[in-house]
Structure 1
Amino acid sequence: MNTAMPTPAPTEIERLVKGIGIPPRPEVLTRLQKEIDSPNMSLSVVGQIINGDVALAASVMKVANSPAFGLSRKVSTVQQAIPVLGSRVLSSLVAGFALRSSINGPVRLDRFWDSSIRVAQLAARLTKEFRGVAADHAYTFGLFHDCGIAVLLQRFPDYRETLQLANADGDRSFTEVEEARHATHHAAIGCFLTRSWGLAEDISRATLIHHDLSIFAPDAETEDARCRSLISLAALSDCFVNAFMRMSEDASWLQIRPHVLQHLNVDESDFHDLREMAFDLLENV
């Protein structure tokens, strides 16, 4: 079993993203993050920012009322959702909407976005079963950890073939297959994008290393060890979504599976129970 490529240094990340069109941080996300970070944050202003885009407001409401966040009551307006969800969750939802709106090009990504949203919502739901990761962080990471794939699908006409090869290669890591064909990989691109968009550093770091199996070693770097639960929940969610949508398991899951199950202390019986719960949730996403 491979242990993945060494985690790239900052200068190496810059090399890997050079020449790749990274979408700039959307204005609506900049305004929202600035207001949330203000010591005089106004819930009214936060609501105005979100309601300024009808499609954004509708997207926030849809996710807020989804089973992933398990609100005790349905909310019918953004203003109602703000105190119930909290500013951090709202920022995550807006970032997700902005991501989908920012990556446009000749290739349709409907299936990719559908899968990403399902993974994000399931990862958020799984935080109720496994403590230590906040639902908003799990949702954001679930949505963004593969965002570099969307960028590369627009950049390289033959990238779909790369995806097929990477999903089937049991000897090399996903990112090794990508870099051999395109001199870059989606983990570095996703890390660069999330940092430039002002997302939490653990989201960016976990995005960079989510194919690096060495993080599960006992002597893993402290900052990488902190990302293990985040990466594990996303990997488990990826597995369940793939099984639900495509009835398949890719090579990346088979490589990381024993590490994830050990880290989360999940045995085969637990795994099948979680899979059943996940399928019930995914039926309603």
Structure 2
Amino acid sequence: MTALIIPPRPDLLIRVQSLLTRHEPDPGDMAQLIRQDVALYTILLATVNSPLFRRSQRIDSVEHAVSVLGMSRVASLMQSVALRSSLDAAGEWLGFWDSAAEVAGLCQALSSRLQCMSGDHAYTFGMMHDIGSAVMRMNYPDYQSWALAEASCNGARTRKAERERYGHDRFELAGRLAGEWFMPEPVVQALTLQAHAQASLMGKAQVCDDVKGANALLILAKDISSEYHAYWNFDSRDALSQLVEKAVEYLAITQHEYLDIRDDLVEKLALADVA
């Protein structure tokens, strides 16, 4: 099997983790670490002021972000920013990162409303859900064009096709990267078993409830993101896909309740876009 390049965990994240394991971690020390990296500082502030994070007042400093969001939440955001710096140092994949951040914010918002996953884990999982394709893209020059031609919403089909062509698949690599960066084990498992979780929701496989619930949440977040972009094209969709219906059912809400949640979150994104 071809040897892969997996970006190593940055030293900054190692120091952040060490800080968080202290008996009484100092928020000032966290802010000082962040200020050492200009790109991290800039992207972190942009993230905490994005539509789905936005508070009643603008967050204008790292100290303010830490005090409002808490050290654990800020550490989760730092992980996602570090990923971007490690995989896309030239800043060429703007659409990919914007999409990942949007899905991550929606996962977090949904977790708060549905009480089905911790907000920090939900954000990290949403940010990481497609990171395996970024690792594939970094290792295989033809991957992006091939993946576009082979695009499928069926995780099992995607996994099989990628393994046949490259010997690896995006879900495996997402879980592997998350594990090597010492992300929470529930996130690692949910990433690795994305295709299996989809099949489980359709009654064709078995995964644990945590993995199934996390992926049901992700399916709804991606559906809301798609609806938001359809909204701007005046192409809003009435019917839910079968997979979305199964995710709604698993999360124990009615389709009517989900559509209300979806409309509300789409409106929040749209209002922020024109603000």
> What is the TM-score when the length of structure 1 is the normalising length?
0.82
Structure 2 partner of 1:4: none
Classify 1:194/1:36 alpha carbon distance in 2 versus 1 (closer, same or farther; 3 Å): same
1:190-269 matches, within 5 Å, as 190-212=174-196, 213-216=198-201, 220-221=206-207, 224-245=208-229, 254=241, 256-269=243-256
In structure 1, what residue type is equivalent to 2:164?
Answer: A
1:63 maps to which of 44, 47, 68? 47
Per-residue CA deviations over 1:80-114 (Å, capped at 9, x if unaligned) read: 22132112111110001000000037893221111
In structure 2, what residue type is equivalent to 1:236?
Answer: L
1:154 maps to which of 138, 143, 150? 138
Q: Within the alignment, does 1:275 sit opposite 2:262 as a pair? A: yes
In 1, Cα distance between equivalents of 2:90 and 2:181: 23
Structure 1 unpaired stretches of 5+: 1-14
Q: Within the alignment, does 1:24 sit opposite 2:8 as a pair? A: yes
2:87 maps to which of 79, 93, 103? 103
In 2, Cα distance between equivalents of 1:74 and 1:50: 19
Q: Which moved more, 1:25-34 or 1:236-245?
A: 236-245
Q: Is the 8 A contact 1:119 1:241 kept in 2?
A: yes
In structure 2, what residue type is equivalent to 1:111?
Answer: G
Per-residue CA deviations over 1:183-207 (Å, capped at 9, x if unaligned) read: 1101111111111111111111100
Classify 1:169/1:140 alpha carbon distance in 2 versus 1 (closer, same or farther; 3 Å): closer
In 1, Cα distance between equivalents of 2:171 and 2:155: 18
Q: Which moved more, 1:49-58 or 1:134-143?
A: 49-58
Structure 2 partner of 1:130: 114
In structure 2, what residue type is equivalent to 1:160?
Answer: Q
Per-residue CA deviations over 1:12-62 (Å, capped at 9, x if unaligned) read: xxx6xx511100001111111110112242211111001111221222222
Structure 2 partner of 1:175: 159
In structure 2, what residue type is equivalent to 1:280?
Answer: E
Classify 1:165/1:209 alpha carbon distance in 2 versus 1 (closer, same or farther; 3 Å): farther
Classify 1:163/1:200 alpha carbon distance in 2 versus 1 (closer, same or farther; 3 Å): same
Structure 2 unpaired stretches of 5+: none
Q: Is the 8 A contact 1:187 1:209 kept in 2?
A: yes
In structure 2, what residue type is equivalent to 1:227?
Answer: V
Per-residue CA deviations over 1:192-232 (Å, capped at 9, x if unaligned) read: 111111111111110001121354469945xx211222211
C-alpha displacement of 1:165: 4.6
Structure 2 partner of 1:3: none
Structure 2 partner of 1:8: none
Q: Is the 8 A contact 2:52 2:105 kept in 1?
A: yes
> What is the TM-score when the length of structure 2 is the normalising length?
0.84
In 2, Cα distance between equivalents of 1:130 and 1:171: 24
In 2, Cα distance between equivalents of 1:107 and 1:173: 30
Identity of aligned residues (%): 25
Q: Is the 8 A contact 1:24 1:197 kept in 2?
A: yes
Q: Which moved more, 1:94-103 or 1:180-189?
A: 180-189
Classify 1:279/1:215 alpha carbon distance in 2 versus 1 (closer, same or farther; 3 Å): same
In structure 1, what residue type is equivalent to 2:60?
Answer: S
Match of 1:227, SS state, is helix
C-alpha displacement of 1:78: 1.0
In structure 2, what residue type is equivalent to 1:65?
Answer: N
Classify 1:174/1:255 alpha carbon distance in 2 versus 1 (closer, same or farther; 3 Å): farther
Structure 2 partner of 1:10: none
In structure 2, what residue type is equivalent to 1:188?
Answer: E
Classify 1:171/1:124 alpha carbon distance in 2 versus 1 (closer, same or farther; 3 Å): closer
Q: Is the 8 A contact 1:118 1:282 kept in 2?
A: no
